[in-house]
Structure 1
Amino acid sequence: MGIVSRGLRRVNDYLESAPREPRYHGDKNDPRYPSPREWRVFFAPIIDIASHAGLAATVLVKVSGLAGIALAIVAYVVLSFIHTVAVQRITHTTLGKAIFGLVVIRGDDGNWPTTGRLIFWYFARVLITALTLADGFGGSGDPDPHLVTVRRRDVNALRSGHGLAPA
C-alpha cells in the first residue's frame, strides 16, 4: 500500500467518522452556540486594541519626551486592564465584542466569567503575548476553553429557553 493510498484512507476515515461532542461551552461544534462567529472574533480585538492605542496616542501628543512615552504606556495598560476586566465583568463584553454582538462566557459551565478569572486571563494573555513576540512568531491559534467568545444572541436564546439549557 502506497503513501497516497494510506493518506486517502485516513482522509476518508476522518470524513466518515461521527462528529465529536463539544469539549466545552462554545466549542466550534457546540449545538448550543450555532451562530458563526469566526470573523467577528478576529476583528473584535482589533477594535479594542485600536481604542486603547488611541488613548495612549492622545497622551503621547499632549505630553512630550520620555515622560510622554512612559505615560502613554501606562495609559494603555490601565485602560486595557479596566476595559478587559472591569467593563467586561459588568457588561460581559468589550467595545469590539459589543460592536460584533459577542460576549464572553466560561467554557466549563457557560456562565459569565468571574472577576478573578478575568484578571487571571488578562495577565496570562499579557505574558503569552510577550513570550510570543519574544519568540518571533504568531501563536498557535488554539481556542481558550476557559474564556470563550460566543454570539450574544445564542446566550440570550439559551437563557430564555429557546435553546438547550446550559449544563
Structure 2
Amino acid sequence: MFVIGTVVGCVFGWIGHRKRKALRRYPWTDWPIRYIRVGGDEWVALMGQDGVPVSTLQLSTWPSERGKLVDFRTRQIWFAGDPQKYGVVSRPGGGDLRYAYRSTPKTPPEFTFRTDDSSNRRSSDASSRPEYELTRDGTHPKMQPVGGPPEEPKPYGRKGDVRYPSPRMLRRVLAFVLDWLIHLGCGVGAAIAVSPGFAPDAIARRDWQHIGVNPVVAVGFFLAASAIDRIIIQSIFHTTIGKALFALVVIRPEDGAYPSFGRLLAVWLFDVYLPLAIFGNGAGPDRIEDYFLPAVRWRDVRHGGTT
C-alpha cells in the first residue's frame, strides 16, 4: 500500500505540475466542444470552425465529479494548453479546473450513421466515410460497417511481425529473469539494511524463523524497485535495466510507438493485481492484450520499425 500510494501520489503531483505549466504558458481560449462519455470515461472534442474536431482530450475526473464541469448540454468551454497534447479545461468565465490530455490507450468511439441526405450518395466514392448498420452478435447489438467488419490491424511487435525481423525470444526471457533478480535483490538487500535484528548465522543454520528480516518489508522494497525500473526508468529510456543489457525496448502493440508514463503505470499495476486476480478469482480487464507490451530489438526500431 505504501508503494502504490507513493506511485499514485507522484502521478497526481505530475498532473498538478502540468496544469500549472499549461496555465503559465498558454492563454485562455474559447472552444466549441462536443462532449463524449462512455462508462466511467469522458472526453471533450475541440471543434474547429468547419465543424471538424481538432483534437479529442480525455478529462481527468474523480467518479463523483463526472458530468459536473461539462455534460451533453455544454457547447463551449475555456481551454488553456496545447490541443494536441494536454491542457486545462474550465467553464466560460472561470470556475472549476480540470486536467485534459490526449490518451492513446483510451479513445472515444466514433460512429458514422446513414442519414436521408447521404442515402443517395454512391458507395463507390472513395472519399466518403464508411456507413454503419446495426447488427447482432448473438444477443448483443453492435455497429459495424455495411458489408461486414473491417480487417483487424495486426499488432506491432508480436511473433512473426516482419517489421521487427531480428530474433528476440531468448533475449526477452533472459531480460525478464535478470530484471526479476535485480528487483528481488534490491528488495532483500534493502530489507536487510533496515533490519537491526538481522542474524546471518541463522541463514547458515537454515533457521528461517530467526533471520530477523520482516518479509513484508522485503516485498515492499521489491515492489518499489520494480516500479522505479519498469515505470520511471522505462518511461525515460523506453527500456528496463535487464532489457537494456540485451538491446531491447518496449513498444505499444497498437501503433508501434513508445508507451507513455501512464501506460507503463497501468501495466505495472495490472501485473501487481494479476496474481491476486488469479488466486482470488477476480475480474480482469476487457482487453487484456493492452497490458502486455511487446519487447523488440532496438536496431529494428532504429531502422524504422515504429511509426
TM-score by length of 2: 0.40
The aligned residue for residue 184 of structure 2 is 53
Shift of residue 68, structure 1, vs aligned partner: 3.5
Shift of residue 71, structure 1, vs aligned partner: 2.3
- Asked if 2 retains the 8 angstrom alpha-carbon contact of 1:60 and 1:71, the reply is yes
The aligned residue for residue 71 of structure 1 is 217
Matched, 1:127 2:273: yes
Shift of residue 130, structure 1, vs aligned partner: 3.4
Name the Cα RMSD after superposition: 2.6
Q: Could you list the runs of 4 or more consecutive aligned residues of structure 1 that deviate by over 6 angstroms after TM superposition?
A: none
Matched, 1:27 2:158: yes
- Asked if 2 retains the 8 angstrom alpha-carbon contact of 1:59 and 1:68, the reply is no
Instruction: For structure 1, list consecutive stretches of 5 or more residues without a partner in the other structure.
Output: 1-20, 136-142, 159-164
Q: Distance in 2 between matches of 1:36 and 1:144?
A: 21
Paired residue total: 135
Partner deviation per Cα, 1:30-60 (whole Å, 9 max, x = no partner): 1110001111111111111111111112123
Match of 2:293 among 147, 153, 156: 147
The aligned residue for residue 255 of structure 2 is 109
Identity fraction in percent? 35
Matched, 1:88 2:219: no
Instruction: For structure 2, list consecutive stretches of 5 or more residues without a partner in the other structure.
Output: 1-151, 198-210, 281-287
Q: Greater Rg, structure 1 or structure 2?
A: 2
Q: Distance in 2 between matches of 1:42 and 1:129?
A: 19
Shift of residue 128, structure 1, vs aligned partner: 1.8
Shift of residue 144, structure 1, vs aligned partner: 4.2
TM-score by length of 1: 0.70
Q: Distance in 2 between matches of 1:33 and 1:144?
A: 19
Q: Which has the higher helix share?
A: 1
Larger RCO: 1 or 2 (CA < 8 Å, sep 6+): 1
